[in-house]
């Protein structure tokens, strides 16, 4: 049973007097890249401005976009959408082999119904569902979508185009990174694919049918070194699977909130006198009450990364998932070194990891010794407690 009013009020208290930040496909994609992080889930649900929060607690994030990139991105999108998406329709015609003579363009943007979300979403739903019955091919611009994230309804303000023909929809993403000789920056394509998958999912939920929206999304990018747009389809089935799986894994926001003190607030507003409503120390304290799960990937996806990284200092997770795995999942650097040097006795669960770590420590020490002697390696005598007689690392680097 959902207590929407109660949850909303609670999230409102956390956010304080600031206007809420809205989710978008990028933030949802980021959310699912670290689904175990309650901190991010709560902050995003409450619509807290994470960038400003990070700056307030003394860990400003280096996010931000160059105006050159913004200008170019906007210009390209405008070009593709000019004259009722004439260019886009031409590309779709070629790509999908369709007869689109009759195609029409509908802008479902904020202009028509004002800025309010509910009516806009309702309008989008009516328009898209109507079109699904089968009408003329139509390009829908800016449809407002809705997705359930951790038990909370989230509106998606998309810069997306949904293209309908014969009752089936394609999601179209316009991106300004180039496709050169049929290849594009892998990271950028991956990001575009997961974002498109968010839209596909939201569109499917809106229409209530999975088969109404194709898993092939259309990516429109500049070709080679020019401004000429080129369209490619990408199959986002894998991303959809990941996304649905991760969204299902997101703990319900109510459950997360239940674990938090009732008076928790991260209000970033200023009081009448120009001072903060909540001091930086209080903000830091409040953040600390919400459990995080830092991983180096956060550095490129979350504004709070520098804060969380500092907080996670000493944990093997800060060294990266690959390293943590190599270390048999041992939580902290001290523990791992203790097991490696035999100063910490492993419990049964970590016996295997400990054996591996001890071997790693031994062969590393022998390797160093062999290298410095420049002769074939010789076994190193172990002291009574199992620590190599010449502990590596004592030399503090090269």
Kindly list the residues in this chain that would bind ligand SF4 in the complex (CB under 6 A).
34, 37, 39-40, 292-294, 298, 302, 304-305, 308
Residue 50: CB minimum distance to other proteins, A: 17
Residue 165 interface partner, choices ligand SF4, other proteins, none, CB cut-off 5-8 Å depending on type: none
Nearest CA among 168, 171, 240 for reference residue 211: 168
DSSP 19: P
**Helix 4-15 × helix 38-46 angle, to 10°:** 100
Q: What does each C-alpha distance from 119 to 124, 126, 204 come to in angstroms?
A: 8, 10, 19
Residue 143: CB minimum distance to other proteins, A: 27
Q: Report the residue number, 4 or 224, with the smaller CB distance to other proteins.
A: 224
Angle at Cα 10 formed by Cα 6 and Cα 13, nearest 5°? 140
Hey, which residues between 350 and 369 contact other proteins (CB under 8 A)? 356-357, 359-364, 366-368
Residue 297: CB minimum distance to other proteins, A: 7
Q: What does each C-alpha distance from 87 to 91, 94, 100, 220, 228 come to in angstroms?
A: 6, 11, 12, 11, 10
Binding of residue 393 to other proteins (CB under 8 A): yes
Burial class (CB in 10 A: 0-12, 13-18, 19+), 167: middle
Residue 46: CB minimum distance to other proteins, A: 27
Q: Which helix (H) or strand (E) holds 396?
A: none
Binding mask 265-304 for other proteins (x = CB under 8 A): -------------------------------xx-xx----
> Per the structure block, which two tokens stand in for 254?
């109510």
Nearest CA among 182, 157, 177 for reference residue 72: 177
Write the DSSP assignment of 273-341 as a string of letters.
TSSBSS-HHHHHHHHHHS-----TTHHHH-TTHHHHHHHTTTBGGGG-HHHHHHTTT-SBHHHHHHHHH
In angstroms, rounded to a whole number, what is the distance separating the alpha carbons of residues 136 and 331? 58
Binding of residue 333 to other proteins (CB under 8 A): yes
Binding of residue 202 to other proteins (CB under 8 A): no
Residue 102: CB minimum distance to other proteins, A: 32
Residue 227: CB minimum distance to ligand SF4, A: 36
Contact pick of 269, 345, 378, 389 for other proteins (by CB under 8 A)? 378
Hey, which residues between 165 and 194 contact other proteins (CB under 8 A)? 176, 178, 180-182
Residue 282 interface partner, choices ligand SF4, other proteins, none, CB cut-off 5-8 Å depending on type: none
Residue 198 interface partner, choices ligand SF4, other proteins, none, CB cut-off 5-8 Å depending on type: none
Nearest CA among 281, 315, 279 for reference residue 298: 315
Residue 305 interface partner, choices other proteins, ligand SF4, none, CB cut-off 5-8 Å depending on type: ligand SF4
Nearest CA among 198, 208, 106, 104 for reference residue 158: 198
Q: Report the residue number, 157 or 366, with the smaller CB distance to other proteins.
A: 366
CB 277 within 8 A of CB 270: yes
Residue 296 interface partner, choices other proteins, ligand SF4, none, CB cut-off 5-8 Å depending on type: other proteins
Hey, which residues between 37 and 96 contact other proteins (CB under 8 A)? 62, 64-73
> Per the structure block, which two tokens stand in for 75?
């210009």
Residue 272 interface partner, choices ligand SF4, other proteins, none, CB cut-off 5-8 Å depending on type: none
Q: Which residues contact 118 (CB under 8 A, 6 or more apart)?
A: none
Nearest CA among 201, 285, 214, 293 for reference residue 251: 293
| CA-derived radius of gyration, the chain | 26
Residue 205: CB minimum distance to ligand SF4, A: 25
Residue 72 interface partner, choices ligand SF4, other proteins, none, CB cut-off 5-8 Å depending on type: other proteins
Residue 70: CB minimum distance to other proteins, A: 7
Q: What residues line the site for other proteins (CB under 8 A)?
A: 62, 64-73, 176, 178, 180-182, 222, 224-228, 296-297, 299-300, 314, 316, 318-320, 322-323, 326-327, 333-334, 336-337, 340, 356-357, 359-364, 366-368, 370-372, 376-379, 392-393, 396-398
């Amino acid at each position: 049973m959902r207590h929407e009013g109660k949850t909303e009020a609670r999230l409102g208290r956390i956010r304080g007097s600031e206007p809420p930040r809205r989710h978008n496909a990028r933030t949802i994609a980021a959310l699912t890249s670290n689904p175990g992080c309650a901190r991010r889930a709560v902050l995003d649900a409450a619509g807290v401005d994470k960038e400003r929060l990070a700056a307030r607690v003394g860990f400003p994030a280096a996010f931000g976009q160059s105006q050159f990139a913004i200008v170019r991105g906007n210009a390209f999108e405008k070009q593709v959408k000019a004259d009722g998406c004439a260019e886009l329709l031409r590309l779709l015609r070629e790509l999908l082999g369709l007869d689109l003579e009759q195609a029409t363009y509908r802008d479902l943007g904020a202009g028509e119904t004002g800025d309010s979300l509910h009516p806009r979403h309702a309008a989008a739903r009516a328009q898209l569902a109507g079109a699904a019955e089968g009408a003329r091919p139509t390009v829908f611009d800016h449809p407002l979508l809705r997705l359930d994230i951790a038990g909370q309804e989230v509106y998606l303000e998309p810069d997306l185009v949904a293209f309908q023909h014969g009752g089936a929809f394609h999601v179209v993403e316009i991106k300004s990174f180039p496709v050169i000789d049929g290849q594009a920056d892998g990271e950028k394509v991956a990001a575009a694919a997961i974002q498109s998958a968010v839209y596909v999912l939201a569109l499917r939920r809106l229409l209530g049918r999975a088969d109404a929206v194709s898993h092939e999304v259309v990516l429109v990018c500049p070709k080679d070194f020019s401004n000429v747009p080129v369209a490619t389809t990408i199959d986002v089935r894998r991303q959809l699977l990941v996304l649905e799986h991760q969204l299902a894994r997101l703990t319900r926001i109510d459950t997360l909130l239940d674990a938090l003190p009732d008076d928790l607030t991260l209000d970033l507003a200023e009081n009448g006198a120009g001072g903060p409503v909540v001091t930086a120390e209080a903000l830091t304290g409040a953040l600390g009450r919400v459990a995080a799960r830092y991983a180096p990937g956060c550095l490129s996806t979350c504004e709070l990364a520098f804060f969380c990284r500092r907080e996670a200092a000493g944990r093997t997770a800060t060294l990266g998932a690959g390293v943590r795995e190599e270390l048999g999942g041992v939580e902290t650097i001290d523990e791992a070194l203790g097991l490696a040097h035999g100063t910490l006795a492993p419990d049964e669960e970590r016996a295997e990891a400990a054996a591996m770590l001890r071997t790693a420590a031994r062969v590393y020490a022998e390797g160093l010794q062999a290298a410095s002697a420049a002769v074939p390696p010789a076994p190193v005598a172990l002291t009574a407690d199992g620590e190599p007689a010449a502990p590596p690392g004592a030399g503090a680097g090269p």
